[in-house]
Structure 1
Amino acid sequence: MEKKGINDNQMTVNAGLSVGLIGKAKVSGKGMSSMNIEKILLAYPELSADWLLTGAGSMLKDDLNGIKTIDEANSSTLPTTSMNPSIGTPYYDVDFIGGFDEVFNSQVNIPATNIVIRGFEKASLWCNVTGHSMEPKINHGDIIALHQCTLNDIQYGEIYAVVLDTIRTIKILRRSPDPDKLRFIPINTNDYDEQEFDKSRIINVFEVIGSISKFF
């Protein structure tokens, strides 16, 4: 606003924000929702999303190596969110272990937002993690990027999120001496034990592309 020489009201009008929103954000220090941040970025395309979200780097895109396109801005290694369904990967605010069926089986479930981050283009969706069995690699409260696959796609020794007939779990998958079973191995072996389950009990398998701490 100082750079543009505008006041709260002018930015409110330009970005289509609710009256008084900027003043309230300043006074409360609580920041803004991802939707309002997106409105500001759309109103001022020269503004760096990374700078707005983190304070790091240059404020304006043309302070970098020329003005970035929207696609280039969205390929940042720093995560951002978008309410545009065509940009990024949908994030569902449910726990994989406790409420993932709400996402996968419901035709009316709507993602809370889309997450945009370079390196996760393969992901089909994001959701929450509950539990400590995969710490310190994946922590309780993180969000994970999932890509749906099949049993034939499994690369043994990698991390998968698996929906079985009675439970959902995130573990390293390995071969079992019994060809009809899979070994489910935690990283936190101090508190969790390895288990084996019949392949016939598996309903869905998702490759875990990666995890990040929740940032919004």
Structure 2
Amino acid sequence: MDKKGMLDAMVAHYTSGNKAKFAQLLGVSAQTISAWGARNTFDSELIYTKCIGLSPDWLLTGEGSMLRVNDAPTSEPIPSINQEYKGAPYFNVDFIGGFEFVFNDQTQLPDYYINYPPYNKPGVMWCNLTGHSMEPEISNGDVIALKEVKSPIEYLPAGEIYGIITDDYRTVKRIRPGAQKGFVRLIPANKSPEFCEQEIPVEMIRRVFAVLGSIRKFF
């Protein structure tokens, strides 16, 4: 397979054939993608760092499977995006790894669907995590899988990671009971002095989401 054919195959797999979205994934202009196709070339190093699951051998030779295959009988599932309702919806909404103010009226419509079998479950959705307070467990720029929980926050398993929505902000933290009755303690994973624990009254919390997992943003 020549470079143009390989480029077309990657665009088809990672962004459902949308070259503009593939350019966004790589952090280049759409004109760059078009120029690569016209010249039968591309930036292999850049593509390999941005495209999850891509086989380095295929990228160099154009031969074999485009995606990495484990030695095990079944390969590890690889996330992909689509607009065909396959998987769980991705909302371009920011949860903050900190306590910065963020408008809570961000978009209600999913941009895409992320097809990643471990999280293709009813009620799961994907959002952005910005900020550094949950590093190294969850990194700035990761996409997090969330599922809303309806149980009162006082009865949720302590020490787990949750997404919290108040009237003023969204944040992702570990939760433990507060020192005061009617409060919960929000605990960052990052032990740097700039990040500290905070107690807030339960009555401030409007919605709670269990954080099921995270992936590096790939689109």
Query: One fold, TM greater than 0.5?
Result: yes
Runs of 5+ unmatched residues, structure 2: 20-30, 45-50, 59-63, 97-101
3-state SS of 1:96 partner:
strand
Corresponding letter in the other structure for 2:156: I
Match of 2:186 among 180, 184, 187: 184
Q: In the TM superposition, what are the counterparts of 1:99-138 in structure 2 within 5 Å?
A: 101-103=105-107, 106=108, 109=109, 111-122=110-121, 124-138=124-138
Deviation at 1:133, TM superposition (A): 0.6
3-state SS of 1:54 partner:
coil
Match of 1:166 among 168, 186, 189: 168
The aligned counterpart of 2:61 is: none
The aligned counterpart of 2:22 is: none
Question: Does the 8 Å CA contact 1:143/1:212 hold for their aligned counterparts?
Answer: yes
Question: Does the 8 Å CA contact 2:144/2:213 hold for their aligned counterparts?
Answer: yes
Distance between the aligned counterparts of 2:138 and 2:18, measured in 1? 36
Deviation at 1:168, TM superposition (A): 1.5
Distance between the aligned counterparts of 2:52 and 2:158, measured in 1? 41
Matched residues, percent identical?
35
The aligned counterpart of 1:143 is: 143
Q: In the TM superposition, what are the counterparts of 1:1-216 in structure 2 within 5 Å?
A: 24-26=35-37, 27=39, 29=42, 54-55=54-55, 59=65, 77-85=77-85, 87-97=86-96, 98=102, 101-103=105-107, 106=108, 109=109, 111-122=110-121, 124-152=124-152, 154-190=156-192, 191-216=194-219
Deviation at 1:185, TM superposition (A): 0.5
Corresponding letter in the other structure for 1:197: I
3-state SS of 1:119 partner:
helix
The alpha-carbon distance between structure 1 residues 81 and 99, as it changes in their structure 2 partners (threshold 3 A), is farther
Which is bigger in relative contact order (C-alpha 8 A, separation at least 6)?
A: 2
Deviation at 1:60, TM superposition (A): 8.5
Question: Considering only aligned residues, what root-mean-square deviation do their CA atoms show, in Å?
Answer: 3.7
Q: Structure 2 length normalisation: TM-score?
A: 0.63
Distance between the aligned counterparts of 1:184 and 1:60, measured in 2? 43
Distance between the aligned counterparts of 1:182 and 1:96, measured in 2? 18
Cα deviation code 1:93-127 (max 9, x no counterpart): 23123355324xx4xx3x22111112213462111
Distance between the aligned counterparts of 2:129 and 2:52, measured in 1? 27
The alpha-carbon distance between structure 1 residues 141 and 113, as it changes in their structure 2 partners (threshold 3 A), is same
Distance between the aligned counterparts of 1:161 and 1:210, measured in 2? 12
Corresponding letter in the other structure for 1:59: S
Question: Does the 8 Å CA contact 1:82/1:115 hold for their aligned counterparts?
Answer: yes
3-state SS of 2:196 partner:
coil
Q: Structure 1 length normalisation: TM-score?
A: 0.64
Give the number of the structure whose alpha-carbon radius of gyration is greater: 1
Distance between the aligned counterparts of 2:156 and 2:120, measured in 1? 19
Question: Does the 8 Å CA contact 2:80/2:116 hold for their aligned counterparts?
Answer: yes
